[in-house]
Amino acid sequence: SADDVPLEIYLNPKIVHYAPSQELDWEGCLSIPGYRGLVPRASEIKIEALDRDGNTVSKTIRGFHARIVQHEVDHIQGRFYVDRMPDLKSWTHVDEFNKIYRSRIQS
């Protein structure tokens, strides 16, 4: 969950390793407001970046935190989450998501 993700700053992040295992989960984006879709992402990644002081950071990230970093690195590379969706059948407006899918996720 978002509560488990620390506030960190990564400058010029590069993903140098993707774990072969993937997790399929819902994503949305302020660049495409009001929509959600199922997106596969590596469950674990290793990044290299600079911190706010210019020091090199090398870090392995897992779970939801890894999903967020992959999402944001995609933006740096000119991609959106819909570009990662293998099937657009799950792409839905947030109102429909809340009616149909949210109840399935919470049960």
- For 33-102, the DSSP string reads EEEEEEEEEESEEEEEEE-TTS-EEEEEEEHHHHHHHHHHHHHHTT--HHHH-S-GGG-EEHHHIIIIIH
CB 32 within 8 A of CB 1: no
Tally Cβ neighbours within 10 Å of residue 101: 16
**11-46 pLDDT tens trace:** 999 999 999 999 999 999 999 999 999 999 999 999
pLDDT of residue 7: 85
Q: Which residues are catalytic?
A: 72
